[in-house]
Amino acid sequence: MLEPKFRLAAITDEFSPDLDTALDAMAAIGMTGAELRMIGGKNIVDLTDDQVRRAADAVSARGMSVVSIASPLLKCVLPGSPDIDSRFQHDVFASRHTFDDQPRLTARVFAVARALRAPLVRVFSYWRTVDPAQCLDGVVEALSKLAAEASGQGLIIGLENEHACNVATGAESAAVLARLPHPNLKLVWDPANAFVAGESPFPGGYSHLTADRIAHVHAKDCHLNGHTPEWGPLGTRAIDWKGQLSALWNDGYRGFLSLETHWPGPGGDKFEGSRICGWNLRGLACL
């Protein structure tokens, strides 16, 4: 069996809310990284310290590492911003917070990341408005503060381009990164999210980016029905994953590829859907 060139990971709850079930399936595929978002139906930020320790033990027992805290930071409304763009679904994953909650939430997220020895904290850019450009200053201000705090704790802030948030595309990501050349701020590049936002992610959106500012890559696949994504098996829908992965490798990206299935799976079997997508990701990563 060919070995993948990239290291592989997944958001565990895409396989199962039960962490052990998810990790066993991921290990069987050859994944060595775990990205934690929800465990047992609770968002990672709402776990007790004891539950966080048990999660850390479960990951390390399989020779894996926690590669990212998939936090909900800045998934909220930016005060004073234009109207919210109602075309996009707001996924909150059992963690709905307001702007005023962000300082407390940040402290908890960073504490969890330290406890799990996770190098990366994923964040967002406030819910997308009808005029995202008007929110850019507020986004940059928030990210600057997070990067400064992260630098003192040995963490990287990973801004995910999210179609329901103000930074959704490769072009929008590049604009923020250009204004914030902080070494502790990088991008979680999600080509499918850029596609849902209306951009051709590869080669179009990716052409605005440089591999040294990409800390992490999310992998999923879909077609569009208007503005609504119809998720499917990775590598079989609209995203040019073969071209994207070849370009990432050739440009020097050596981070993880992390599965974020989204596909409900055959007959609604999400676990089996994630297994299928995981093996597809492994095959694509062999280049």
Examine residue 126 and state whether it is found in any structural domain, yes or no.
yes
Which residue type sits at 142?
Answer: A
pLDDT digits (tens, 9 = 90+) for 116-153: 999 999 999 999 999 999 999 999 999 999 999 999 99
Map 168-213 to HEC letters: CCHHHHHHHHHHCCCCCEEEEECHHHHHHCCCCCCCCHHHHCCHHH
Here the CATH number for the domain that contains residue 196 is 3.20.20.150
278 contacts 10 by C-beta, under 8 angstroms: yes
Examine residue 207 and state whether it is found in any structural domain, yes or no.
yes
- Measured CA to CA in angstroms, residue 193 lies from 11, 107, 176, 199 at distances of 16, 27, 17, 9
Q: Could you tell me the residue range of the domain that residue 110 belongs to?
A: 34-216+238-257
Mean per-residue pLDDT for 189-210? Answer: 98
Cis before residue 264, ω within 30 degrees of 0?
A: no
Examine residue 24 and state whether it is found in any structural domain, yes or no.
no
Beta bridge partners of 185: 157
Examine residue 45 and state whether it is found in any structural domain, yes or no.
yes
17 contacts 41 by C-beta, under 8 angstroms: yes
Q: Which residues contact 274 (CB under 8 A, 6 or more apart)?
A: 10, 14, 15, 25, 259, 261, 265
Examine residue 5 and state whether it is found in any structural domain, yes or no.
no
Radius of gyration of the chain (CA): 17
Report how far residue 75's alpha carbon sits from residue 125's, in angstroms, rounded to the nearest whole number.
Answer: 7
Examine residue 199 and state whether it is found in any structural domain, yes or no.
yes
Examine residue 228 and state whether it is found in any structural domain, yes or no.
no
pLDDT digits (tens, 9 = 90+) for 211-266: 999 999 999 999 999 889 999 999 999 999 999 999 999 999 999 999 999 999 99
pTM value is 0.98
223 contacts 198 by C-beta, under 8 angstroms: no
pLDDT band, residue 95 (cuts 50/70/90): confident
Examine residue 27 and state whether it is found in any structural domain, yes or no.
no
Q: What is the number of domains present in the chain?
A: 1
Percent of all residues in the chain with a pLDDT value above 70, rounded to a whole number: 100
